[in-house]
């Protein structure tokens, strides 16, 4: 299939555009896709999106916006700069701006914690911790949806997982015996 824009090169990028509730499919070559991407970035940049999400539905609360311009001690990025450019400067920015990022992430994603793919090489302890947290999140959703039978089943899975973890971890066994 040839590129819809230039009509010369093989289309390797396929986009779906929705404009005014009208869906259009575009099949583009890499060169035209790069140009289209630049065009979209100038029309509506990522920083604009993040800034809009930071402002959208935000209560006028002193806790959701820094009183003075908070800066990251490691890279010097201010929260105002983050809102303007839409990118954090370094890993320490996550801790510096945590108080302001958590509500933003909840508005964007619905959650403030990432539940995605895990690395292929993961320790058993970390895997069990992830499984346990995943089950707790499912339990919370089931309770919120008032699916109490499902919630009870998940609760039992959590208890079973914790029981297995206690059996495999001698430190946990000693702590449980002391209780």
What digits encode the pLDDT tens for the residues 129-151?
A: 667 788 888 888 889 889 899 99
Average pLDDT of span 120-136: 71
Express as a percent the part of the chain with pLDDT over 90. 13
Count the Cβ atoms, other than its own, within 10 Å of residue 43: 8
Express as a percent the part of the chain with pLDDT over 70. 64
Average pLDDT of span 60-82: 74
Helix (H, G, I), strand (E, B) or coil at 6: coil
CA atoms within 13 A on the CB side of 89: 18
Mean pLDDT of the chain: 75
Residue 36: predicted pLDDT:
80
Average pLDDT of span 149-170: 84
Average pLDDT of span 26-50: 71
C-beta separation of 14 from 5 below 8 A: no
Q: How far apart are CA 69 and CA 71, in angstroms?
A: 6
Q: Furthest-apart CA pair in the chain: how many Å?
A: 75
C-beta separation of 83 from 58 below 8 A: no
Question: Is residue 10 over pLDDT 90?
Answer: yes
Residue 153: predicted pLDDT:
92
pLDDT band at 66 (very low <50, low <70, confident <90, very high): low
Helix (H, G, I), strand (E, B) or coil at 179: coil
Cα 176 versus chain centre, distance = 35
Question: Is residue 16 over pLDDT 60?
Answer: yes
Q: What pTM value is reported for the model?
A: 0.38
Residue 55: predicted pLDDT:
52
**Greater confidence, 87 or 56?**
87
């Amino acid at each position: 299939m040839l590129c819809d824009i230039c009509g010369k090169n093989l289309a390797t990028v396929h986009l779906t555009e929705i404009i005014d509730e009208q869906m259009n499919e575009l099949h583009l070559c890499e060169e035209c896709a790069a140009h289209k991407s630049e065009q979209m970035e100038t029309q509506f940049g990522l920083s604009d999106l993040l800034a809009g999400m930071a402002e959208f539905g935000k209560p006028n609360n002193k806790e959701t916006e820094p009183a003075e311009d908070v800066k990251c001690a490691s890279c010097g990025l201010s929260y105002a700069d983050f809102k303007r450019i839409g990118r954090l400067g370094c890993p320490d920015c996550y801790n510096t701006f945590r108080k302001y990022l958590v509500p933003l992430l909840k508005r964007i994603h619905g959650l403030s914690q990432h539940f995605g793919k895990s690395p292929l090489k993961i320790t058993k302890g970390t895997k069990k911790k992830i499984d346990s947290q995943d089950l707790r999140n499912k339990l919370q959703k089931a309770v919120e949806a008032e699916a109490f039978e499902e919630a009870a089943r998940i609760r039992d899975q959590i208890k079973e997982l914790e029981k297995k973890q206690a059996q495999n971890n001698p430190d946990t066994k000693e702590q449980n015996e002391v209780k």
